């Protein structure tokens, strides 16, 4: 996967169209609640500024359904970027057309502008070539620093690279490839993967892929209850997925699929750990009645909301012994404070370990930020779905589209 990098480009006086990932969470008043992705883009933006280039930033935010929606404006991102850079970032309220051309013509060396949400135009998600050509028109070259959307064949990820050469990877994208690639190619052993979140079906293919690579697989979150039910363990009213659609459109029982995964893991000597205790609640709410129950004790009508303290301890020991750890997905409903302990325990265990630690996925990233340990994680990935597809061994369109390097 040798691709041209930003360090290989002559940026002096060049208009660089930079695909960043400013898909940041906003509160009801439009304030950014987590600027991790904006901060992650700073090395690439600063390199362009320092080299005398002109940075034209493009991104999406949210799901505005192909038309302008002020709720999803990137104006707050422009304000935050200005604060982080310590200089004005010009915001343009469209991403193609006359306003963009006018703003670019006024740029001087070292200037930065941010264009409005790409998804205000239906051509972005459709991968429309005419839209990609419009995006490319004001620029001399293309830099992709948006790993979070590298698994999407959108106009700004793939189409633009066909119109603008060279097309290079920014520093963030290169870092993502380096760390995630190391998990696949030559990890420090033992290699431990921690997977959580709500749905097994979203992660079946990555689980199947990891079974051939990891030494231990730790399962948490709501997806653990599908595993436990497949193992014959009572899970009360906990969320369990029943079926998934197969590659040929057939219906497959998830419990059957999970049993097959566990069988193959056993054959390959891969240790799969499931929760041995839980924090259960009588209904899905922060003020619910709660109790800690053993692995085989979630009673009828109650829901598992978090891994229990013994599970957190066991998982923490596995992390302590690991050489490399990849974590994607929370251990419980951590958005509700009473059910955050398991997820926070995993975050602290990662921070305290000597392992190469890689965290991917929006919820997991939020957890390490909330726990205050993000600066003690080796690599916090900006891609959730992209990191999983990368670990599955899939070709990511946004990376494949970049110019090959002879280095």
pLDDT tens-digit readout, 219-244: 999 999 999 988 888 999 998 888 77
Across the range 82-89, mean pLDDT stands at 97
Across the range 147-166, mean pLDDT stands at 94
Domain co-membership, 170 together with 193: no
Domain co-membership, 91 together with 224: no
pLDDT tier, 339 (very low <50, low <70, confident <90, very high otherwise)? very high
In a domain, 179, yes or no: no
Across the range 330-354, mean pLDDT stands at 95
The whole-number pLDDT of residue 381 equals: 87
In a domain, 403, yes or no: no
Catalytic entry in 362, 383, 384, 398: 362
Average pLDDT value over all residues in the chain: 92
Is 199 labeled as catalytic in the residue annotation? yes
pLDDT tier, 180 (very low <50, low <70, confident <90, very high otherwise)? confident
Catalytic entry in 79, 199, 239, 376: 199
Q: Evaluate the CA torsion angle 188, 194, 200, 203 in order and state its sign.
A: negative
Is 19 labeled as catalytic in the residue annotation? no
Domain co-membership, 217 together with 309: yes
Domain co-membership, 206 together with 146: no
Q: Does residue 118 carry a pLDDT above 90? A: yes
The whole-number pLDDT of residue 109 equals: 97
The answer to whether 149 and 176 have CB atoms below 8 angstroms apart is no
Total of domains in the chain: 2
Catalytic entry in 3, 19, 37, 203: 37
In a domain, 1, yes or no: no
The whole-number pLDDT of residue 278 equals: 95
In a domain, 396, yes or no: no
Domain co-membership, 145 together with 245: no
Domain end call among 153, 174, 195: 174
Q: How far is CA 274 from CA 163, 216, 222, 295, 296, in A?
A: 49, 11, 11, 9, 12
Is 37 labeled as catalytic in the residue annotation? yes
Higher pLDDT, 118 or 374: 118
Catalytic entry in 53, 196, 385, 398: 385
In a domain, 263, yes or no: yes
The whole-number pLDDT of residue 182 equals: 84
Domain co-membership, 381 together with 288: yes
The whole-number pLDDT of residue 163 equals: 95
Domain co-membership, 233 together with 156: no
Domain co-membership, 315 together with 365: yes
Q: How far is CA 243 from CA 147, 256, 305, in A?
A: 31, 9, 22
The answer to whether 5 and 174 have CB atoms below 8 angstroms apart is yes
In a domain, 115, yes or no: yes
The whole-number pLDDT of residue 370 equals: 86
What's 81's domain CATH number?
3.40.50.1260
Q: Does residue 248 carry a pLDDT above 80? A: no
Domain end call among 174, 198, 216: 174
Domain co-membership, 224 together with 283: yes
Domain end call among 145, 174, 203: 174
- The least confident of 173-182, 197-206, 329-338, 342-351 is 197-206
Q: How far is 16 from 138, CA to CA, in rounded Å?
A: 9
Percent of the chain clearing pLDDT 70 (strictly above): 99
Domain of residue 129 covers 6-174
Domain co-membership, 199 together with 340: yes
- What is the tens place of the pLDDT at every residue in 295-304? 677 989 999 9
The whole-number pLDDT of residue 46 equals: 98
- What is the tens place of the pLDDT at every residue in 195-214? 998 888 888 888 988 998 89
Q: How far is CA 254 from CA 262, 270, 273, 278, 389, in A?
A: 12, 20, 18, 22, 20
Higher pLDDT, 252 or 169: 169
In a domain, 351, yes or no: yes
- What is the tens place of the pLDDT at every residue in 18-43? 999 999 989 988 899 889 899 999 99
The whole-number pLDDT of residue 389 equals: 87
The whole-number pLDDT of residue 247 equals: 64
Q: Which residue has the tokens 């030494």?
A: 215
Domain co-membership, 142 together with 279: no
Q: Does residue 1 carry a pLDDT above 70? A: no
Is 323 labeled as catalytic in the residue annotation? no
In a domain, 399, yes or no: no
The whole-number pLDDT of residue 206 equals: 87
Q: What is the pTM of this model?
A: 0.86
pLDDT tier, 407 (very low <50, low <70, confident <90, very high otherwise)? low
Domain co-membership, 205 together with 59: no
């Amino acid at each position: 996967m040798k691709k041209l990098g930003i360090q290989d480009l002559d940026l002096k006086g060049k208009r660089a169209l930079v695909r960043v990932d400013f898909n940041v969470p906003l509160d009801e008043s439009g304030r950014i609640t987590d600027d991790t992705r904006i901060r992650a883009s700073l090395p690439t933006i600063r390199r362009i500024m320092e080299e005398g280039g002109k940075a034209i930033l493009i991104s999406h935010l949210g799901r505005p359904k192909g038309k302008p929606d002020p709720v999803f404006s990137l104006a707050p991102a422009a304000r935050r970027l200005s604060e982080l850079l310590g200089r004005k970032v010009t915001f343009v309220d469209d991403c193609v057309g006359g306003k963009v051309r006018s703003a670019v013509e006024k740029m001087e060396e070292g200037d930065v502008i941010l264009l409005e949400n790409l998804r205000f135009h239906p051509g972005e998600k459709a991968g429309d070539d005419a839209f990609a050509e419009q995006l490319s028109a004001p620029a001399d070259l293309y830099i992709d620093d948006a790993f979070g959307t590298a698994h999407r064949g959108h106009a700004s990820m793939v189409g633009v690279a066909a119109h603008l050469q060279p097309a290079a990877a920014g520093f963030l994208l290169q870092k993502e490839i380096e760390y995630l690639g190391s998990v696949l190619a030559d990890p420090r052993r033992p290699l431990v993967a921690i997977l959580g979140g709500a749905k097994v079906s979203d992660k079946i293919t990555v689980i199947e892929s990891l079974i051939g690579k990891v030494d231990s697989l730790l399962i948490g979150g709501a997806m653990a209850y599908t595993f436990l039910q497949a193992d014959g363990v009572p899970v009360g009213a906990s969320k369990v997925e029943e079926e998934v659609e197969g590659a040929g459109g057939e219906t497959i029982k998830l419990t059957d699929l999970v049993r097959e995964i566990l069988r193959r893991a056993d054959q390959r000597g891969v240790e799969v750990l499931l929760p041995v205790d839980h924090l259960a609640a009588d209904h899905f709410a922060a003020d619910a009645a709660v109790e800690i129950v053993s692995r085989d004790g979630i009673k009828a009508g109650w829901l598992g909301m978090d891994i229990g303290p013994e599970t957190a301890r066991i998982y923490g020991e596995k992390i302590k012994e690991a050489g490399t750890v990849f974590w994607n997905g929370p251990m419980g409903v951590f958005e509700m404070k009473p059910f955050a302990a398991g997820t926070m325990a995993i975050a602290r265990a990662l921070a305290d370990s000597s392992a190469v630690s890689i965290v991917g996925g929006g919820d997991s990233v939020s957890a390490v930020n909330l726990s205050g340990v993000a600066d003690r994680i080796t690599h916090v990935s900006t891609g959730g779905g992209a990191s999983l597809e990368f670990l599955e061994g899939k070709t990511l369109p946004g990376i494949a589209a970049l110019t090959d390097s002879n280095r």
